Chain A
Amino acid sequence: MIDSRYKHIFLFPALLVLVAIIIFPLIYTVRLSFSGWDINRPGLDSVGWANYARALVDGGFWNSMGTLYQMVFFCVLFEYTLGFGLALLLWKQVKAGRFFRLLFIIPMCVTPVVMAVVWKTIFHETLGPLNDILNWFGIAGVPWLSEATPAFISIVLVDVWQWTSLMFILLLAGLMSLPKEPYEAAQIDGAGPIRTFVHVTFPLMAPITIGALVIRLIESSKLMETIYAMTSAGPGSATETTSYLLYIRSLREFQIGYTASLSMIYLVILIIALALFAKLLSRALIGRSEART
């Protein structure tokens, strides 16, 4: 690391842009959260902590946090597991490996909300192919978008379809950069594929696992576009995530001041949760002595 007066030239342009375009709006949101900007009272007045008090007992808001937690849990779990599995399959030389890799990377590159709209037609109960195909196997059609659990599943399915490829590519890159020595040692020890995985591959991949999980958790916590396109948080509020709720409250109902306070609460909770998760995972996978900050 060098210290030099040139260092500022490198960092500051980006930092400035970020501060102007994200920090300012953030500060403004904090100010908004103390105002009662509503459909009839546009403008920044001051209502003290009233918004926060209301937020603490807002059932819809906390429900959406619960729904978000469940969705993110299942999405990331499946994406990680499937992504890892696919990466392992394509790690060593495979016939048409290049073809599969290219194919598998496509879902994460295409516009999520546009594909969600296509998926919506697929999930259509009477006119869509999914129920049609299930019928071929004698399975009754599932009310994909009109009942709580199937709707939840369909959102998770679309998210998994889209983002497993991200986990796949990250984990594959990680696998390909692993050193050879431990494997040679394991082979000498006569370890089978499962033991090799558990004792060699997985521990070596720990930092990458953490990185990939944290990245995916951050992105999936913003789950909103898929829901916007497919279920509009329905049926009832079965698929209502916090992002979607914030959108409705602020832009459809115009409770701008109140939603700002919800946003603040949400941000604080999320930052703490993610930081905690990263730390705990680090400890668990890497061990106390090697844990990074």
Chain B
Amino acid sequence: MKPKLLLAAGALGVASLIAVGGVSSASADTDYIAKYGIKADVPGMCSYSSIDAKDYTGHEITILTHAVPVMGEPAALHSKQFAELTGGTVNVVHAPFGELYQKVMIPFQTGQHVYDVVYGGSYWIGDWAPHLAPVPQKYLDLAEMKDATAAYQGVASWRGERLQYTVDGDRHYFKYVRPPFEDAENQAKFKAQYGRDLEVPTTWEEYAEVATFFNGWDWDGDGELEYGSTEIVQRDNIAFSNFITRVAAYAKNPNVTGGFWFDLDTMTPQVNNPGFVKGLEMWMAALEYMPPGGINFGIAEEIFSWGGGQSLMSVTWDDAFIQAMQEDSPIRNKILVGTKYGASMGSNKVWNRVTNKWDEFETPSVAPYVAWGWGAGVSKYSQEQEMAFDWFCFFSNYANTNHDLLIGRFGVNPFRTSHMDPAYWEKEAGWNNDVAVSYTNMLKSMDTSTNRVFDLRVPGVNQYYTAMMASVSKAMAGEMSAQAALDEVAAEWSRITERIGVDVVREAYKNVVALEDNVPLSAVK
């Protein structure tokens, strides 16, 4: 009797243990979704459950990231989650964008180890390269990593090594409010005034006409005045990116290789060639059709302005678009992106710096700008590299990225092929089909374009850009002509190159030329 009872009790005990174990593992999985607000925990090395299984108690890492909310909030959020899951300590330090560079460089240069993970503009890679730890192969083999498009993998690499962990992908593209273009009355008036049909512009000249037409009156009936275009012009903010967008179509020639910023052979700066000058002149004239105070707009103003329906068009970052597609936006689902020829405005004439003539293009040539985006890496002086890379892995796992992409203010923008599927945006974000298709087509077009422009990712880039924008902003303020301003820039750039070392800059610039000319680094002589 007793042994049987014992056996039965034992069996019951074991059975209940199994049952409880089974129940708890099932609820642990659902816990992530309920607890952390993600849609699904995609299995993999970096999934919630995998990270949960790791134990970093007693370990500590320090992350330097941007201010809340752009990149700062998701970094803080995922740090908190990571700490909870692994028991480790994650300190998050925030800095304004203008301070990020030196907060990272000073410790790097003086050998002081302060941060394990650093965030910044990915275009600083030239300066940061000697101090970052290459991403270990096991992370490069991850599905999430391989899913990143070639362009963004390239942007994260330096001299063939992957130094930045891909967490974001940025771009500049054309976006516009649709209904005014389709309004019959507008079409009639436009035709009367300009002698051609009102169409979505494909060149900067057309852009100027359309923007001027729609500038300074209330075309959406909300009782407020609207304007033609919102751009980022404020010096010391990230206006340099808008400058690049403006000059790209005129200065990046699909038939010319060997350097957009410099002639790789002679390292002569190209910033004052007629292509650049024309772009700047068009930008100076554009102030006429920007909202009041437009010359002082930083990215915050641009996001609120275009995202709030204050202007018809904009050629800048993703953020304003995502903002405009949020639930409470007045222009949600009334906007589209890209032109029929590409992601940005093109030009029928492009300067050829080799023949010193303008090349004519029947179909406008488009030169989309693969803007720098957030670059982040692990310091090679870190004592906790494994934990740091796991942190990255967790930050950009499928579940988290899919969550972050939908929140405009997070600043996380598409960089994976899987993000270029319109179904994701329709289903997860509630976008209309035409908007989703327009957006993903634009993403794909940028990915497949062979005439792209990249940042000047060389050591000392801040000096180059600061010099550039100091003079450009003077031209924008009307203090000097475009040619004079850019001549000033070219002269200063030559001096900077001298100071840093012509060979150092040339070697670095080869990495950029490889991206510009769509060839591997070894093919750049």
Contact = CB atoms under 8 A, between A and B. Distances in A.
Interface of A: 36, 38-40, 42, 60, 124-126, 141, 143, 145-148, 232-238, 248, 251-255
B331 to A, nearest CB: 18
Most chain A CB inside 10 Å of its own CB: which residue of B127, B462, B504: B462
B189 interface: no
Interface in B437-487: 459-460, 462-463, 466, 470, 473-474, 476-477, 479
A38 B499 contact: yes
Given A39-B500, A253-B463, 5 more contacts: A39-B463, A40-B500, A232-B234, A233-B236, A252-B466
Nearest to A125: B293
Contacts of A141: 292
Nearest to B472: A236
Nearest to A54: B495
Nearest to B464: A253
Interface in B26-63: none
Nearest to A251: B102
Given A147-B477, A236-B474, A252 B101 contact: yes
21 contacts: A38-B500, A39-B462, A40-B459, A40-B501, A125-B293, A126-B292, A141-B292, A145-B293, A146-B294, A146-B296, A147-B477, A234-B473, A236-B235, A237-B474, A248-B466, A252-B98, A252-B101, A252-B462, A253-B460, A253-B466, A254-B105
Contacts of B236: 232-234
Given A126-B293, A143-B292, A234-B235, A39 B477 contact: no
A248 B466 CA distance: 9
Nearest to A36: B499
A148 B477 contact: yes
A233 B294 CA distance: 16
Kindly list the 10 A-B residue pairs having the minimum CB-CB distance in the complex, ordered from nearest: A125-B293, A232-B236, A146-B296, A236-B477, A236-B474, A146-B295, A42-B109, A253-B463, A235-B477, A251-B102
Nearest to B470: A237
A136 to B, nearest CB: 17
Nearest to A60: B470
Of A147, A235, A236, A251, most buried by chain B (CB within 10 Å of CB) is A236
B109 A235 contact: no
A234 B292 contact: no
B295 A253 contact: no
Interface of B: 98, 101-102, 105, 109-110, 127, 234-237, 291-296, 459-460, 462-463, 466, 470, 473-474, 476-477, 479, 499-501, 504
B110 A42 contact: yes
Contacts of B462: 39, 252-254
Is the contact region of chain B dominated by helix, strand, or loop, or is it mixed?
Answer: helix
A193 to B, nearest CB: 46
B501 to A, nearest CB: 7
Which of B291, B294, B296 counts the most A-chain CB atoms under 10 A from its CB? Answer: B296
A148 B295 CA distance: 11
A255 B492 CA distance: 14
Nearest to A124: B293
A147 B102 CA distance: 29
A257 to B, nearest CB: 10
Contacts of B473: 234-237
A60 B466 CA distance: 12
Nearest to B127: A39
Contacts of B294: 146
A252 B102 contact: yes
A255 B463 contact: yes
A235 B296 contact: yes
Contacts of A255: 463
With a 10 A CB-CB cut-off, give which of B110, B127, B473 has the most chain A CB atoms.
Answer: B473
Nearest to B296: A146
Nearest to A238: B477
A40 B504 contact: yes
Nearest to B463: A253
Contacts of A40: 459-460, 500-501, 504
Contacts of A36: 499
Contacts of B237: 232
B293 A146 contact: yes
Contacts of A125: 292-293, 296
B235 A235 contact: yes
B105 A39 contact: yes
Nearest to B111: A42
Contacts of B98: 252
A123 to B, nearest CB: 10
A211 B510 CA distance: 60
A126 B500 contact: no
Contacts of A248: 466
Given A38-B499, A234-B296, A126 B291 contact: yes
A237 B234 CA distance: 12
A57 B466 CA distance: 18
Contacts of B500: 38-40
B513 to A, nearest CB: 20
Given A39-B460, A42-B109, A236 B293 contact: no
A141 to B, nearest CB: 7
Residue from B98, B101, B235, B501 having most chain A Cβ neighbours under 10 A:
B235
B77 to A, nearest CB: 25
A126 B462 CA distance: 31
Contacts of A254: 102, 105, 460, 462-463
A38 to B, nearest CB: 6
A38 B501 CA distance: 11
A280 to B, nearest CB: 34
